[in-house]
């Protein structure tokens, strides 16, 4: 692996003006324009695409990739090249991530040094984008269970409905809540109640497919968005939820039971009408026959 330490000195202080101290007005103008473009977005893929336009002037590559742990992105149309050249990006000697070029021909020493200079323009925009993505992820996550929260549910429901309408597919909603949860809280305390909520959230996650999404809507109410849905798939989810509850030592210890309500999207639905119909199905199930799935 070829690595490039962008900032070698521990005492380095970032100064944008140092990057343009070249004495060449044309180069300075071009670099200023690049920096301005890179600072106009907090989306990592867009940053990489903007940067690739400049980098492509100095080396031939068929793909450009950035990775940092679970964070992975690439430029549009990236594909495998004849070889790869990897660079470790660092800020103040702290590892930021790996930038990989899928190259079609060797990089000349002159152009290698130019890329060395160009990488200084991308490290801070990339870092800002990663920090922003992390903050947004936390804002969309329920702090107790780790599931998506109400805000994220609203966003994902809109996306799922749009996708279903566009591709003429079926999407379903399963709304679930715990029976007599207030009694459990009052009897054993909120710390036990919190553990039960986390245990039930885990049971729901174990019961769905990778294409489905689970959210904590609020309190002891949870929602599952079921894409590519059918009555059969919903009944399978119901059966798995019951099995997961029975398999949980914590949930069986406190005799946890749940009620489920479900509906399918109508073509005239908006997000509000879709959810309200599923919630009404849940209400009907709670007063009639707990633990059996009600579909309306």
Helical pair 190-207 and 181-188, crossing angle rounded to 10 deg: 140
The gap between the terminal CA atoms of the chain, to the nearest Å, is 58
Q: Is 8 exposed, middle or buried (0-12, 13-18, 19+ CB in 10 A)?
A: exposed
Spatial separation of the C-alpha atoms in residues 206 and 251, rounded to whole Å: 14
How many CB atoms are closer than 10 A to CB 77? 8
The one catalytic residue in 177, 212, 220, 279 is: 220
Cα angle 107, 109, 111; round to 5: 65
DSSP string, 190-247: HHHHHHHHHHHHHHHHHHS-TT-EEEEEETTEEEEEEES--HHHHHHHHHHHHHHHHH
Q: What are phi and psi of 159, to 5 degrees?
A: -65, -45
Spatial separation of the C-alpha atoms in residues 42 and 127, rounded to whole Å: 9
Spatial separation of the C-alpha atoms in residues 189 and 195, rounded to whole Å: 10
Q: What is the largest CA-CA distance in the chain?
A: 81
Query: Active-site residue 186, yes or no?
Result: no
Q: Which residues are catalytic?
A: 220
């Amino acid at each position: 692996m070829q690595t490039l330490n962008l900032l070698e000195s521990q005492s380095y202080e970032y100064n944008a003006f140092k990057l343009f101290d070249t004495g060449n007005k044309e180069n300075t103008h071009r670099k200023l324009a690049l920096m301005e473009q890179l600072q106009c977005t907090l989306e990592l893929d867009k940053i990489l695409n903007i940067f690739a336009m400049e980098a492509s002037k100095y080396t031939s590559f068929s793909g450009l990739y950035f990775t940092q742990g679970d964070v992975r992105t690439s430029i549009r149309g990236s594909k495998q090249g004849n070889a790869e050249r990897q660079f470790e990006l660092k800020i103040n000697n702290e590892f930021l991530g790996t930038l990989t070029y899928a190259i079609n021909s060797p990089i000349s020493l002159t152009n290698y040094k130019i890329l060395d200079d160009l990488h200084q323009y991308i490290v801070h925009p990339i870092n800002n984008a990663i920090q922003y993505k992390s903050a947004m992820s936390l804002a969309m996550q329920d702090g107790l269970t780790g599931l998506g929260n109400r805000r994220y549910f609203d966003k994902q429901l809109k996306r799922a409905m749009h996708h279903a309408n566009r591709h003429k597919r079926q999407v379903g909603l399963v709304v679930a809540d715990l029976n007599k949860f207030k009694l459990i809280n009052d009897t054993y305390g909120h710390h036990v109640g919190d553990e039960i909520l986390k245990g039930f959230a885990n049971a729901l996650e174990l019961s769905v497919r990778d294409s489905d999404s689970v959210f904590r809507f609020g309190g002891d109410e949870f929602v599952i968005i079921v894409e590519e849905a059918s009555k059969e798939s919903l009944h399978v989810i119901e059966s798995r939820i019951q099995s997961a509850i029975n398999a949980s030592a914590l949930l069986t210890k406190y005799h946890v039971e749940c009620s489920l309500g479900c509906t399918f999207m109508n073509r005239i639905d908006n997000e509000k009408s879709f959810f309200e119909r599923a919630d009404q199905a849940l209400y009907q199930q709670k007063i009639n026959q707990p633990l059996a799935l009600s579909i309306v």
